[in-house]
Structures are given as C-alpha cells and as structure tokens.
Amino acid sequence: MRYWGISALSHDASLAVVQDDGVVFAAHSERYSRVKNDPLLADGLLAEALTYGPPDAIAWYERPMLKKARHVRAGQWADARSRADVPRLYLRTLDLPFRLPGIEYADHHHSHAAGGFATSAFDEAAVIVADAIGEFRTFTIGHFTADGRYTALHHRSYPDSLGLLYSAFARRCGYRPNEDEYIVMGLAAYGEPRYADAIYEDFLDVRPPSFRLKMNPHRGIGDWFPAASAEDLAASIQHVTETLMADAARWARSRTGSRNLILSGGIALNCVANAKVARDAGFEHVWIFPNPGDAGSSVGAVAAVAGCRLRWPGPYLGTALPGEYPVEDLVKELAARGTVGVANGRAEFGPRALGNRSLLADPRPADMKDRVNFIKGREPFRPFAPAVRVERARELFDLPVPASPYMQFTARCRAPDEYAAIVHHDGTSRVQTVDRAAHPGLYALLETWEDKTGCPVLLNTSLNSRGEPLLNSAEDVAAFSARTGLPVYPA
C-alpha cells in the first residue's frame, strides 16, 4: 500500500510518501518552487514523489468542508464560497500522470496528534496539540493508550486560540503573522514580561486546563499599549504562552498518569516553551516530531487515516545531493575562515537545518554572530544554535531532556563566554545534540573539529538567506555560494 500524505492549500505545503508503514519521502513544496511557505504543490515536489510510484490512496491533513463551516463562522465569506481549496478539485488541476485514487480526510488536530505518536517510540502517551487554527479546534489535550486508541480529553475551538493570540502579538510587534512568530520568540529575550498581567486581564479567561479568550484575535489586537516596546510585548506573550503550556501539561500528566508527552502543532516549534514544559510538567519523556507544524501533517494524515505506527527513519527524507559527507574539507575551511556551508545527502523535513543543508561556523569568535547574520541577511538580535555530540551535551548545556536532536529545547550554556556566538541574550542556546547513528557524518565532523581545535561545538544554522527556503538542489547551492561568497561543500 502506497499513501501520499498531503498538507496543502493553506501554507507551507508538503507531501509525504508512505510505503506500507515506512516513511520513504517527505518534503516541503517551498524547497522546489523557491516561494517561502508556498501553499501549493510544486511540480518538482510532485515529480520527486512520483519516483516512488503513484499513490494507491491519498490522505489529506484536514476536513475541507468542516473548514468551510469555520470560514462561515469567522465571516470569511470569500474563502467559504471558493472552490479553489477543495482538495479533489485542486488535485485535478495538476498534471498528474495517474488517475486520482480515493482521498481520505483526517481531522486537523488528529493529524498533528497521530503524526507525533506514530513516529515516537512510546507505547502510550499524553498529547497536547496547540496551534492557530485547524478546522475549528485550536487546542487539544488527548491520550494514546497502549492499543493505539486515541481519546481527546479536552479541547478549545475557534476563536479561543493561543496560536492566533501569539500571531496577533507578532503583528503588533511589527512582524508577519503566521510567518515570523519564531522572530518574536527570539526578541522576547531582550524584553521584560511587563504586560503579562495585562494580557490576562484584557484577553484571557484562564479555565484549567486551558483558557478562553475575551476577544477574537484573528484580525490582530490593534495598537494595544501603543507606547510599549516590541521587546517587552514579545517577552510578555512569550511568558504567558510558556505558563499556559506548562499548566496544560501538568493537567495532562495528572489526568492520564502517563510518563510520556507528545507536543504538536505550530506552538510546538516554540523551543523556549518546550523547555519549560520539559522541566516543570513532570513527564519523564517528551517527544516532538521534527516537523510539528502543518507541513508535518502530510505524515500525520497517513498515520491518522491508516491508524498505524510508522517506521520513522529520521528527518532526512527530501532531495538527495550525492557524495560522502565532506568532513576534512569542512574542518579545513572552518579553521581557515570560520564559516562554511554543507549541502550533502537528503534534505531535512522540517523547518530547521540539521546538518545536511547547514551553514556552519566556529562559535568562539566574539564577532561570529554578526558575521553569520551578515551572510544570511538576518536581524542582528537573532540567535543561533549549537550542534554538539550527544555525549558532551549535558556537560556543556543545562538540558531539560537527555537529547535534543531537532533543536526543540533551549538550555542554559554552562560556558557562555567561550561560545559567544551560540548563546542568546538570555544565556540560553537552542541545542542540537548529534548521535553517531542518526548522522554519522555530522558526528564525525564534530569529533574531528574538537580533536583539531579543542572546541566541542559548532554553530549550525540553515543554509539560506533571509526570507528564502532552505537550499534544496545543486543549482540552489551554486547560486547561494555565488551571491554570498560562502564556500559550500561538496562543490
């Protein structure tokens, strides 16, 4: 049985190929079209998926008619009347060399939850799905039991949405909602949560284990507290988000008795909140799928409709670039100039570069953060992540979890003066731990780099420029290298 799982027609479209119960391919449309957060399926993505054969069935990540009902509820009349976002009608507009098979639809939040559970190693687990909006649901707490059965224990529905509220604050801070929330998370470290109490008073009615909103944040919050700095506003909504997520997780722990927690939905990309949950909620194990937002629901949709556990090989599931991992070339370039790019192997499925489409740098020079931000064209306050071998991680970082292979948790750096480029303004780092079995090439690079320099850490950020998707093909890499002057290996 070959499934195509599809998440599309909203933002950041993706397609996954699941052969029997194994994920054999998964990729973002934007990597092929070069349109950031492309909601449509790119021709190149479809062509690569077809190399695995045509699908026997298609799993769609949400229920489109239920979503239409929510458009009516929200007064989005043009969206409610449009036929352009009806999956079967849309797929018929594509130049597909096969007759469309049946389409099976999953509930949006069930796709998130099932994708997390199906790729975890847990026999049972509590699950929290928190995002902006699916069809109606915005916040769900559930439980997968040992027989694989899922029960939703609590939910909130539109317009009671923590994700929409966070996005409204992104807009209030001067950033793009549904795109720049990660910038707000980074900006929060420079402010104080001076307006956290006011957020509760004006917007939130806390009703454990979650909340209701006193207004609909879908169209923003206007010029709320017009004299407030963006930094303090960011710190305030970040503080509220962390508190609400940790409180919900504690409730899930007491209600289910589970030792295992899965976080999913767009808010699971907030690594600062994830770290607070991992530290404070009382779970022994926390799993976050490396692509917990809507793009990852191409995998989650298959898990939801097929009702199966999936063989999860790791996040390296996209376009392959040939060659051995160029350890010696990378170490030589890093020692000589401090920065280098690597584009090798299969592209990462998820928003973060994990060693196959990465810009790497020596984290020790005081000016390295500025140098890398200049190469990428990013805001100067943005943080960078450290990559470290998993055996050394707890020695160097105060991690709340045993391992963080997908940069999903922040931790305080124990030697911030030694590795200034990977320490954020608040003293924390978004750590990537590297296991030899999961990525032997990157592990060997870190090992060789430490042998040569005594430094056990490398700065790892995505190989792209600001506003551009991660590089995907050899042509993308050549254009980037020519534009920035950064050498990228293998050449």
Identify which of 353, 316, 347 has the alpha carbon closest to the alpha carbon of residue 462.
Answer: 353
Distance from C-alpha of 274 to C-alpha of 314, rounded to nearest angstrom: 20
CA 364/CA 390 separation, integer angstroms: 20
- Which of the four CATH numbers 2.40.30.40, 3.90.870.20, 3.40.50.720, 3.40.309.10 does domain 317-489 have? 3.90.870.20
Q: Which helix (H) or strand (E) holds 198?
A: helix 196-203
Per-residue pLDDT of the chain (491 residues; tens, 9 = 90+): 999 999 999 999 999 999 999 999 999 999 999 999 999 999 999 999 999 999 999 999 999 999 999 999 999 999 999 999 999 999 999 999 999 999 999 999 999 999 999 999 999 999 999 999 999 999 999 999 999 899 999 999 999 999 999 999 999 999 999 999 999 999 999 999 999 999 999 999 999 999 999 999 998 999 999 999 999 999 999 999 999 999 999 999 999 999 999 999 999 999 999 999 999 999 999 999 999 999 999 999 999 999 989 999 999 999 999 999 999 999 999 999 999 999 999 999 999 999 999 999 999 998 999 999 999 998 888 899 999 999 999 999 999 999 999 999 999 999 999 999 999 999 999 999 999 999 999 999 999 999 999 999 999 999 999 999 999 999 999 999 999 999 999 97
Q: Do domains 2-109+297-313 and 317-489 have the same CATH topology?
A: no
Q: In sequence order, which ranges of 257-290 are alpha helices (DSSP H)?
A: 271-280
Choose among 45, 41, 35: nearest CA to 94: 41
Per-residue model confidence (pLDDT) at position 330: 98
* Distance from C-alpha of 373 to C-alpha of 369, rounded to nearest angstrom: 6
Nearest to 430 by CA among 280, 246, 296, 275: 275
Q: Which among 105, 168, 106, 108 is positioned nearest to 133, based on CA atoms?
A: 108
Q: Which class in CATH covers the domain with range 120-288?
A: alpha beta
- Residue 308 is predicted with a pLDDT of 83
What is the rounded CA–CA span in Å between residue 346 and residue 240?
38
Predicted confidence at residue 25, as pLDDT, reads: 98
Please answer whether residues 224 and 266 qualify as being in contact, where contact means their C-beta atoms are separated by less than 8 angstroms: no
Q: Decide if 475 contacts 328 (C-beta within 8 A).
A: no
CA–CA dist 489, 471 (Å, integer): 13
| Gap between the Cα atoms of 149 and 266, Å rounded | 23
Q: Which fold has domain 2-109+297-313?
A: Nucleotidyltransferase; domain 5 (3.30.420)
Unique residue bearing structure tokens 């190469």:
375
Return all residues near 81 (Cβ < 8 A) that are at least 6 apart.
none
**CB-based burial label for 285 (10 Å; 0-12, 13-18, 19+):** middle
CB atoms within 10 A of CB 37: 17
Could you tell me the two tokens for 303?
């898990």
Residue type at position 267? I
End-to-end CA distance of the chain: 38
Q: Is the dihedral of CA 303, 2, 6, 355 positive or negative?
A: positive
Instruction: Determine the length of the chain.
Output: 491
Tell me the C-alpha distance between 110 and 105, whole Å: 10
159 preceded by a cis bond (ω within 30 of 0): yes
Contact 312, 25 (CB under 8 A): no
What's the CA gap between 74 and 146, in Å, rounded? 38
- Residues near 30 by beta carbon (within 8 Å), at least 6 away in sequence: 12, 13, 36, 37, 38, 42, 469
Structural domain spans, the chain: 2-109+297-313, 120-288, 317-489
- The closest of 138, 177, 143, 133 to 155, measured between CA atoms, is 138
- Quick count: other Cβ atoms within 10 Å of Cβ 336? 10
